[in-house]
A and B are shown apart, each in its own frame.
Chain A
Amino acid sequence: MTPRVTPTRPAYLARLAPLLFVATTASLVWPLYPWLGNHVEPRILGIPWSLSYVILVIAVNTAALVALYMLRAVDASEHPEDGPHG
């Protein structure tokens, strides 16, 4: 059996990542959303802030996911038997 490939994995990132997503989830609900997001102004490209804010949260989350994926920070171990039939 081919030995398991264990990529470099910044363990601290893996531990911090869930906290980031808890924070972004919190930013979308009470009390943070009414406070930070539930306004018409400022508008971005004409879009009201209440919608722009949610889009910005998506952008932050996506950037974080891309970083975690590229850095192989979360569960990136690849077994040789990862192929079609395990």
Chain B
Amino acid sequence: MASALIFAYLACSLVLGLWAGRRGSGGTDDFITGERSFGPVLMYFVMGAMVFSAYALLGTPQRVMAKGSDAFYALAYGAVAMVPLFFFGAKARRIGARERMFTQAEFFGRRYNSRRLTTVMGLASLLACLPYLLVQFKGAGVVMQQVLGWSPIAGAAAVYAVVMVYVMFGGMRGVGWTNVLQGVLMLIVVWWLGLAIPQQLFGGIGPMFDRVIAEQPAYLTLPGPGPGTTDFQWSAEVLLSILGFTMWPQVFMKCFTARNARLVQHSAVVYPTFLLFLIPLFFLGYAALLLPGAPRDERVLLWLVHHPLLAGGDVMLAFFSLAVLAASMSTGDALLHGGSSIFVRDVLVRGLGLQLGERTQTWILRGSVVVLAALGLLLMMVAHHVSLVDLLLLAYAVPVQFLPIVMLGLYWRRANRPSAEAGLYLGLGSVIVLFAADKLAPGLYAALNPLGLQIGVLGLALNCLVMVVVALLTPPMAPDHLRRFEL
């Protein structure tokens, strides 16, 4: 049953994505922003489904089992994460439409009148998105292995062949409409399982937590089970995630897909209804915690839904597998789409100054989707040689370096080209140096970072300081230029 459902779902995604792609003009603007035509329903699912990835579905219950209530950090930072978008999103949408801009790096490259800045932001964005792409591939591979018995690489390749085709020929519209299907699937399945499984196994949510309190009380509050999460670590991860969340290029770029400026704010307002789907995932994590023999890795939910004590385990496994694939694909397609857009617009067109016609750009965009998908598979093949945790650490630290450029660029007239370049280069440079020192020279790293702060925080502090100081010491940009950016 599960295998039939999976193939039917993949076929539906493919047809829907290709059908959606036929609704537009097929040009560059259509591929990258869907010709800025998305209404409230599409925006809701694009934002929600894009954010919640295979890592949310597979990793959240795993984190509950490993670290207890530390797992709530995803809900805690999500509570505030979209608020910045509510404030700056409408402005970004207006300026983006007026100036015909497609990507975050293009936007700020023009704001600071610097092609170098666009190129560096674009390359840094590509670097940051690769670990996330790998996580999505791994999520798809785990499901295909569990359900069909395929090797994870073959499974991920099959799933992402579908994604690749609908992104290549459906563009942003393909991503948007498939995200509706994927988002609906994720929400329904996760809430259903999150309420049904505790009910079947323990008689409800309340009785389940009664048992957690009796048997595993340390898992309900910080610091949690040993070695535990300190208040400082909890606060740092919540704050850094809040600051970095809307700086992710694939999130920022969604401002440009909305039909009008108010819709961007609307997306931020309704986003928490999607966010709450983490709650049933916490329930499932606690349910697994109470059962003997639960695996401690990302397969824990696949194990739980197929537990012999559950009635209808086959149906649950089938639908949960679909939900994981939906989560993987809805984030993976945004990364493939965003990454190809960034590569073509920021690196080739703006960075290298290539004069590419509309049709050529569209075909290179499609080719880049294939290259990125191939890179994702390649990373998966060598993944056992590299630490995913390390890669994610680097990936978190990069987008947060865009924060000063974005916020000061949108709201501070004094922010100018020298300050933006100096801040960004220093922020990114320090992140790379600290990351390398941590791996290659631990003694030096300990001397550079005696408090053991996250490297993104250190880079951000330097970045902000330098940007403000340089901006105050150098002349502001021309008033005519600033007016184009509503300053």
Give me the interface of A with B, judged by CB distance under 8 Å.
17-18, 21, 24-25, 28-31, 33-34, 38-40, 43, 45-48, 50-51, 54-55, 57-58, 61-62, 65-66, 68-69, 74-76, 78-79, 81-86
Contact = CB atoms under 8 A, between A and B. Distances in A.
B413 interface: no
A69 B239 contact: no
Chain B contact residues: over half helix, strand or loop, or mixed? Answer: helix
A61 B272 contact: yes
Contacts of A83: 36, 97, 259-260
A54 B94 contact: no
Interface of B: 29, 35-37, 69, 72, 75-80, 83, 86-87, 90-91, 93-94, 96-100, 204-210, 212-213, 217, 220-222, 231-232, 234-235, 238-239, 242, 259-262, 265-266, 268-269, 272, 275-276, 279, 282
Given A68-B86, A79-B94, A85-B100, 10 more contacts: A29-B235, A29-B239, A40-B213, A45-B206, A46-B208, A54-B75, A78-B260, A84-B37, A85-B97, A86-B94
B80 to A, nearest CB: 5
A86 B205 contact: no
A45 to B, nearest CB: 7
Nearest to B259: A84
B265 A28 contact: no
B276 A58 contact: yes
Given A38-B222, A46-B204, A75-B90, A86 B98 contact: yes
Contact of A40 (B35, B79, B221): B221
A50 B83 CA distance: 22
Most-contacted residue by chain B among A43, A75, A81 (CB, 10 A): A75
A40 B69 CA distance: 10
Given A40-B220, A69-B266, A85-B100, A28 B238 contact: yes
Contacts of B268: 65
